[in-house]
Structure 1
């Protein structure tokens, strides 16, 4: 009879250890790895999604840095699980992985996003109130740039203009470099690459604040587009075959075309899509109104907020936006942490 309590104690001890092991296992669950995007809208979207995943669903998260293409390759390998702002279909790396069923683009996160080549409006129109004359009054298209390299003079390359490209490693940097060739501008303009997205932003912003002419690649949603009066230069209509020559850095005869119409999505790996159906359902509903997003990005830039702080402010100010993506009980958990 004395053996029964002893046996019962042993069973209870074993059950207790199993329960402890189970809890420890849950706590040691590997984090969901997000790409550490280094442009503002991508960084803000990443921070918003991480807060939802962590506070709403209790999953740990982490970030890994990399260029656009390297993050897409990592996503295909499941070294990354989520890229919060994926301009899907733009790079050969993404297209190849998507065709192989290794990556998926979820939702349509920011409608009316655009990208292209821009100049300040005062370069074309002048600004009498600021004593500025029009330096390129007939500038409307990328082809017109052939007449104006001296207007956008590069101080480091006398006799040539300067085109501010994306940082190296971005898909758009390859496209823009090929466009310079396609439009016959590569001999007239120096292809200047900023070190980071923040450096590109700072250089453009600095030139505009000093009323200087500047020719640059940019995109929206961004704080800069909302801050200044800019003109996007016209390009030939989008052509899929021409686009293929622009995304291939080794193509010797690229053809001009507008960039692929923008569709911003959340990129996920195949393993993530299969393992986290509840998060997939949320990501498919994510939509960030571009006007509110640009406002949040401008505040993030002006106040020098970290993406995490900007995400908290956005979610506090726009509960109707993100609560529409979530079940009520999950939304309540996220709200409690705000």
Structure 2
């Protein structure tokens, strides 16, 4: 085939233009990928490490991903619900609270959201927190009729008090805990004392855990208050008993020693647990905000994380590293591929 010189030049020009266009598109794609994998802010992102295990582990998980994957400057700071939220609302710091239970700060938090001082980026616990009374599943299998609290109350002989064999025992919370008040109120509202039950208050959270662990290890019956996500509910197959509908006004009174109304029966409400953030995170670091919008975990998933920490006596940082190493199929879905590779490289 014969081409005129002008035709050859035109063909070369078209080819060069096409190649240049493809190169430019590739560069644009690379730039967009890099931008999506960058922190987007020079500000230090301080993350509140709350005092309970699940929130502490989540703080370290997010700190590692943001620092090693997105290249953020990250600092973990000590936190707790009230002081953390108060500082976030007034000072914009800490930047992130990975597991903020907003039920105890309902009014100021709602005002902060309305005023634009803070944002909720995602549910931290996607299926809500758990709180209630539990029995082992092996007990329910042996007695399938035990489904509600009232069912159990009718059989104190199945849950004998080790110190008073003529009565059943309900394991409550340690002195000073809010759940000690609410459990005691339900004990009274259900008339359990007159039905052959003792209310047992363990000396500490560790003592309560030890009593539960001992019962499950020996496959003995036990009726106990507990909450989740926790290592205990991740480790042991417990069944939550039906307490009927949740009545917020009743629950509020049941948790207030100064309430002058008689206790009534109500289920425990599921407290919202969110990824809370100062509003500047969403505007100044949209990649960080976008990442945190995807990080919700279920009760069971968080409890599983905590089982490792409990069984290996691992701190929050070690527990976080174990999650990142063993659950890569889970957390890599939260981030761009470039971020995931950087985090994986840091783990080695």
Identify whether the pair has TM-score above 0.5, normalized to the shorter chain. Answer: yes
The answer as to 2:289 corresponding to 1:280 is: yes
Matched residue SS, 1:260: coil
How much does 1:191 deviate?
Answer: 5.3
- Of the three residues 298, 323, 329, the one matched with 1:320 is 329
Query: What is the deviation of 1:123?
Result: 4.0
In 1, the alpha carbon distance for the partners of 2:137 and 2:52 equals 27
Match of 2:125 among 110, 122, 135: 110
Residue 48 of structure 1, CA deviation = 0.7
SS in 1 for 2:344: helix
Deviation at 1:308, TM superposition (A): 1.5
User: Judging changes above 3 Å, is the alpha-carbon distance between structure 1 residues 287 and 168 closer, same or farther for their aligned structure 2 residues?
Assistant: same
User: TM-score, normalised to structure 1's length?
Assistant: 0.70
Q: Quick one: which of 17, 23, 36 aligns to 2:50?
A: 36
User: C-alpha offsets along residues 197-223 of structure 1, whole Å, 9 cap, x if unaligned?
Assistant: x55333311232133432222234334
Cα pair 1:235 1:257 within 8 Å, conserved: yes
Q: Give the distance between the partners of 1:186 and 1:267, measured in 2 at CA.
A: 42
CA pair 215-222 structure 1, distance change in 2 beyond 3 A: same
Unaligned runs of 5+ residues in structure 1 are 1-25, 127-133
Q: Which has the higher helix share?
A: 2
Residue 100 in structure 1 maps to residue 114 in structure 2: no
- Asked if structure 2 preserves the Cα contact closer than 8 Å seen for 1:149 and 1:189, the reply is no
Aligned residue number for residue 309 of structure 1 = 318
After TM superposition, where is structure 1 displaced by more than 6 Å over at least 4 residues in a row?
156-160
Take 2:299 and 2:94, find their aligned partners in 1: how far apart are those partners? 27
2:67 to 24, 42, 54: 54
Cα offset, 1:51, TM superposition: 1.4
Query: Secondary structure at the residue paired with 2:161?
Result: coil
Q: Give me the whole-angstrom Cα distance separating, in 2, the residues matched to 1:229 and 1:186.
A: 28
Deviation of 1:144 (Å): 4.1
Q: Which runs of 5+ in 2 are unaligned?
A: 1-40
Residues 204/274 of structure 1: CA separation in 2 closer, same or farther (3 Å cut): farther
Closer/same/farther in 2, CA of residues 75 and 159 from structure 1, 3 Å limit: farther
TM-score normalised by structure 2 residue count: 0.68
- Judged with a 3 Å threshold, the aligned counterparts in structure 2 of structure 1 residues 247 and 306 are, in CA distance, closer, same or farther, namely same
Whether the 8 Å contact between 1:157 and 1:190 is mirrored in structure 2 is: no
Q: Distance in 1 between matches of 2:126 and 2:171?
A: 27
1:286-333 per-residue CA deviation (whole Å, 9 max, x = no partner) reads: 123555544433333323332222211211222332233234444443
Give the 3 Å change call, closer, same or farther, for CA 330–172 of structure 1 in structure 2: farther
1:118 deviation in Å?
0.4
Alignment partners' CA distance in 1, 2:85 and 2:164: 34
**Pair 259,162 (structure 1): closer, same or farther in 2 beyond 3 Å:** closer
Q: Distance in 1 between matches of 2:225 and 2:284?
A: 38
RMSD: 3.8
Q: Is the 8 A contact 1:152 1:215 kept in 2?
A: no
